[in-house]
Amino acid sequence: MNLAKLSRGNQIIEFVVIVMLALALAFGVQSFVVKPYHIPSGSMEPTISIGQRVLVDRLGNDFFNPSVGDIVVFHPPVGASEGGDGVCGVRQAPNEPCRQPTPKESSINYIKRVVAVGGDTIAIVGGHVILNGKRQHEPFANFADCMGDPTCTYVKPIKVPAGYYFMMGDNRGDSADSRFWGPVPDAWIIGEAFATYWPPDRIGFL
């Protein structure tokens, strides 16, 4: 028996096994632990710009509920992307945010900031969140395009249902979000965006 040939054969088999294990590990990490996402719109500017790529923690959401201020990736309700700003699941009064989404989950991915959680009351004035009666300090947000825009003001508060999250983009005058299609149930949340890794000059934690 040619030991050199046998050794080379074993090396090839070992290499193939290592590659397969590496691919399986990478797939597992992306599927269950950390997944990269590309940002297609400017709804989260100035925090996250078009073309940036973020990393999303898919594992942590199984143990910790999102909090106000977290940036999350999620599936919006069906109707959220059907032209305009989306479709509310109930008849929406002119002066209040959408209080209930359509019942079905969309397959698309959105990224927004959690601005209210189950049990909170929320109203919006000039793009500013009024949470439980108190105007929030939001230095990360852009309100420039809200000047004179009625979709930036909903003065009648609504109560977010238990197990739901009210999402808004940081670019308040240019974001299709929960104002128009309602809060998002916990089951539709994919995970928290915790870092940006592209482009190189924007690498950092969120």
CATH fold of 39-205:
Umud Fragment, subunit A (2.10.109)
Alpha carbon distance 123, 142 (integer Å) = 17
Q: What are phi and psi of 66, to 5 degrees?
A: -60, 150
Examine the pLDDT at 84 and tell me if it is beyond 60: yes
- For CA atoms 170, 172, 176, 177, the dihedral sign is positive
| Averaged pLDDT of the chain | 85
Burial of 147 (0-12, 13-18, 19+ CB in 10 A): exposed
Higher pLDDT pick, 121 / 7:
121
Hey, which residues are catalytic here?
A: 43, 112
The alpha carbon torsion through 47, 149, 83, 93 (nearest 10 deg) reads 110
Determine the average pLDDT of the residues in 139-165.
Answer: 95
Could you tell me the pLDDT band of residue 180, with boundaries at 50, 70 and 90? very high
Alpha carbon distance 171, 180 (integer Å) = 15
Alpha carbon distance 161, 172 (integer Å) = 23
